[in-house]
Every structure is written in structure tokens, then in C-alpha cells.
Chain A
């Protein structure tokens, strides 16, 4: 059981280049999330998806786009990378689950470290 897999793990980009981060989960989770982690700022939600074919904006969506064409995959795209997007990116997934149970615990990927020069 692989859980949540992120690719690539490391990437260096030049300003203005584009790239896509891929997140794949094999747990049949409905929800998927993309976060970025920066020192002193914790994890900030970029975009999320509540199911196949749906996406929504989080706290810091500007400069990013996402797609969820298949339930198991959630792609994060940077169309024109900027140095401010240098960060560690985490993908996470969870069941639909209500508030009564703990079934909505997030399962995280290992993270993707992106550097934009």
C-alpha cells in the first residue's frame, strides 16, 4: 500500500518556467489537497478537491492551477514560476468522513521541494 506518492521529490526551475507536480493516492480517498510549507508559516492550503472533476481554491491559490481528472490523481501546476514559489509542497488525501469520526485524518505524501531561481 503506497499511500500518497508525490513526484518529483526535488526540482529546480528558472523564473518563468512551468512545471507540474503529480500526486497519486491508492486509498480511494475522496478529498485531496495541496499545501505549501514555508518557515514560520506552517502549511498553507493552495487548492483542494472534494471529488473527481472538482477543485476549489484554498488560502494561497494565486499562481497555481490544479486538476483532478481521475479520483486517484491531483495535479498542481505552475504556469510561470516565481522565486516566491520556492517552497516544500505537500499533497494530502482523506476520506469524506464526518466530524463524529476520525476518518477524516489526512494522509500526506513525502513532500516535493521546489526551488525557483
Chain B
């Protein structure tokens, strides 16, 4: 069964430091995509970064990088130089094939990040 696991309900980080949010996934399909989304207290969902299962290099987007370890089935999000505005809920997600040939995207339970001044 396809599944996303985020084991850190909450994380604290000091402003300007780096933080890693953990994500492990489970799928038997060779083709899949991994995403991270941010949800601030205002409630909207904001796309951060994407990694395809065939991508050879780890994805990076500004201060965000995705530490993709395919053999371990992990896709951790690294935020460098944390800012107060990074305080939010972060969701890891996976897009995978369904048994009817389409795609669906499933999410983990999320990690709430608190950035301390």
C-alpha cells in the first residue's frame, strides 16, 4: 500500500539555523513523485519543492532542498537559514499511479515547525 509517514508532530528551530523535516514513503511502483507543501496559519497550501523518482540530483528551491535517499525511501526537507515566516505546518506528499492507470497524490500527517527568535 502507498503511504507517507512523517514522524515529527512538532519541531523547534532557532532563527537562522537549518532544520530537517523527516519524510518516509512506501510504494512498490518504480515511478512516483515526491512533494513538500507548506501551510501557514492562514490555511492556504503552498507548494515548496518536487522530486521525481528518476531524478539523479536532489531538488533545490532557494532555501529549500530535498534530501532524497531512494534506497531508504526517504525524502527529507531541509530548510536553511530559518526565518520567522517559516513557522507553519509542512506536509510531505507522494504522487503515484493508481490501479486504474491514473495518478493520485497522498499526504503525510504533517510536521508543525516553530521558528524561535
Interface residues of A (CB under 8 A from B): 31, 33, 35, 40-45, 48, 50, 56, 58-59, 88, 90, 92, 94, 96, 99-102, 104-106, 108, 110-111
Contacts and interface: CB of A to CB of B under 8 A. Distances in A.
Interface stretch (B14-22, B67-75, B76-84, B98-106): B98-106
Contact of B91 (A43, A58, A59, A99): A43
B35 A105 contact: yes
Nearest to A102: B50
Interface residues of B, number: 30
A111 B109 contact: no
A40 B54 CA distance: 31
Q: Which of B100, B105, B109 has the most CB of A within 10 A?
A: B105
B45 interface: yes
A40 B95 contact: no
Interface string B1-44: 00010100100000000000000000000011101010000011
B53 interface: yes
12 contacts: A42-B91, A42-B107, A42-B110, A50-B100, A56-B100, A99-B54, A100-B52, A100-B54, A104-B33, A105-B50, A110-B44, A111-B44
